[in-house]
Amino acid sequence: MSGRILMLHKPKGYVVTRLKRPDSENSPGTQTVYALLPAEFHDQGWVPVGRLDKDSSGLLLFTREGPLVYRLQTPGNHQKVYEVWVKGILAQEHLRHLLDGVETPLGLLKAAKVEVLGQVGPNSLIRMILEGGRNRQIRRMFACMRDMKKNKYFKVLELTRMKIGSVELDVQPGEWRFLSGGETESLLKNLPDLSETKANTGKY
């Protein structure tokens, strides 16, 4: 086995959690992402970097290095790119709203960049870039905005994470691979080292 980091294309329906026993489940019918990896990876200490909720899919990174998990998860250390199918048609004022900040139960949440890639019937395909990432942030932001033409709140139909920092998703759903040395170096080169992270956040 080689590599410090691996990527997994998480499909919908899988929970991102690390149970004490890889063959145990939270509830009947629930599967964790470890069901998609070799069985020995659980005992070897591979852990997910960040989260994707059960209804979301896309790029998920794993590593065995605790300090590396912390550096990669620290908000603002790298951008994350998502493609999102939304029920509703977004106007320019909606895009500005996403950039300026949407008031949600978690407070004001913003996107770093957002663009409409296309529309199919009543649904819109959006590319959104986040620099941080709160729990279910994208879903919460759209749920707090209204499609004025239909007088309904927007709803996220599909959400896929396509990129983390310099690493782009390039495996099929349910598949995984190790990052190459060059990919790992590129991902980590712009991250602050652990001493800088501790100084800036007071954590770890």
pLDDT tens-digit map of 164-199: 999 999 999 999 999 999 999 999 987 766 544 444
> In this predicted structure, what is the pLDDT of residue 6?
97
Residue ranges, the chain, pLDDT below 70:
1-2, 20-29, 192-204
Residue 128 bridge partners (DSSP): 82, 114
Place of tokens 């069985």: 39
89 and 110, same domain (yes or no): yes
> In this predicted structure, what is the pLDDT of residue 23?
55
How many angstroms separate the most distant Cα atoms in the chain? 55
> In this predicted structure, what is the pLDDT of residue 94?
95
Handedness of CA 186, 188, 191, 195 (dihedral sign): negative
Q: What is the CATH number of the domain that holds 113?
A: 3.30.2350.10
How far are the Cα atoms of 29, 76, 104, 113, 161 from residue 191, in angstroms, in the given order?
38, 9, 29, 20, 20
Residue 203 lies in a domain: no
98 and 151, same domain (yes or no): yes
Domain that holds residue 92: 80-164
> In this predicted structure, what is the pLDDT of residue 147?
84
**Which residues have a catalytic role annotated?**
53
> In this predicted structure, what is the pLDDT of residue 202?
43
Q: What is the CATH number of the domain that holds 28?
A: 3.30.70.580
> In this predicted structure, what is the pLDDT of residue 72?
86
86 and 160, same domain (yes or no): yes
Q: How many domains does the chain have?
A: 2
Q: Is 137 exposed, middle or buried (CB count within 10 Å of its CB: 0-12, 13-18, 19+)?
A: buried
Residue 152 lies in a domain: yes
